[in-house]
Amino acid sequence: MSRHRDTGRSRTTRRLPAGVTRREALRMGFGGLGVSAALPLLLHRTSSALALPAVVEGAERAFGEKILVVVELSGGNDGLNTVVPFRNDEYYRVRPNLGIKRKNLIEVDDEFGFHPSLVGFERLFKEGQLGIVHGCGYDNPSLSHFESMGFWHTGVPSAGESLGWVGRFADLAVDEPEQELIVNVGGSQSPAVRSAVHTPVVFSDPNRFHWEGTKEQQKTYERLNSEGRHETNPALDFLNRVASSAVSSSKFVRAAAAGYRTPVDYGPGGGLGSDLVRVAALIDAGMPTNLYYVAASGNTFDTHVHSRTCTHGC
């Protein structure tokens, strides 16, 4: 989505090194990092040759009015029964009972069809607002949920990367610390938004997004916020940036959430719907944020814990 915002900010953007062509950048990765350092591995298995040049070009420039909202669905999803390859005989051979018959599908082209409950997805797809990426994953998977989520958050399988792919993308686009560039709506910060340059704004309930503590703690907090950067003390500099980000953002977040009204039905209170309402409120209020990250967990869509294990003849 996009929204025109006059933020009045001056940004420093990172360019390709002199003498390095775009083709070479794609071959060696973004600014010397692996290709997966900017986006998850899923791009390796798609028409990434078309997508990646646009990503590099976009990262070289300031974000401008562009806004990316990332929604992470935490849990297990049966992708083959979400987007069904009804032309593939192997699908029905290995899933004689679990496979969804073609007559029950919402066909989107000559090869694939949506699960019959995804009526809204069909509309978005036909309007050009939804894309499908097949075969997301990584080579030689360990089958560990924890390792796989770690790889997804960093975009670098089996490499021990500490920063998230969203955070590194922000670092590539804007290489000077900028408050409110990234907002993570959730009870805790996602590893995906970890950045070497920027401090994400992280909150769950806007009404509770304010300082709580003793008078002594308040004094320390205010001192951290007022002393500025400490180039020789990275740990203190980090604390200063977190404190400054919280102070500058909390009042705005609470006011935006309290004043937002929408006719859109986001579903029952709580969970993903409420988080997306908060994102919409901040965008509507003009918060200078280009990257929003929200996550849906629990049984919002993941029901495999209630299913029988199927070893053959599904």
> In angstroms, rounded to a whole number, what is the distance separating the alpha carbons of residues 314 and 304?
14
Regarding predicted confidence, which is higher, 75 or 182? 182
| pLDDT classification of 260: cutoffs 50, 70, 90 | very high
Q: What is the DSSP letter of 263?
A: S
Residue 312 CB neighbour total at 10 angstroms: 6
| Of 133-137, 163-167, 219-223, minimum mean pLDDT range | 219-223
Ranked by mean pLDDT, which of 25-34, 151-160, 213-222, 242-251 comes out on top? Answer: 151-160
**Which tokens is 283 given?**
């965008």
Exposed, middle or buried by CB within 10 Å (0-12, 13-18, 19+), for 212? exposed
> In angstroms, rounded to a whole number, what is the distance separating the alpha carbons of residues 307 and 179?
44
Taking only the tens place, the pLDDT of each residue in 4-46 is 344 444 454 444 444 444 344 333 333 333 333 334 433 343 3
Taking only the tens place, the pLDDT of each residue in 237-257 is 666 666 665 666 788 888 899
**Which tokens is 188 given?**
């805790």
Taking only the tens place, the pLDDT of each residue in 71-102 is 998 777 788 999 999 999 999 999 999 999 99
Q: In what helix (H) or strand (E) does residue 91 lie, and over which residues does it extend? A: helix 89-94
Name the pTM for this structure: 0.68
pLDDT(64) > 70: no
Q: What is the DSSP letter of 16?
A: P
Residue range 250-272: average pLDDT? 86
Angle at 267 between CA 262 and CA 269, to 5 degrees: 90
3-class SS of residue 185? strand
Amino acid at 231: E
> In angstroms, rounded to a whole number, what is the distance separating the alpha carbons of residues 201 and 205?
13
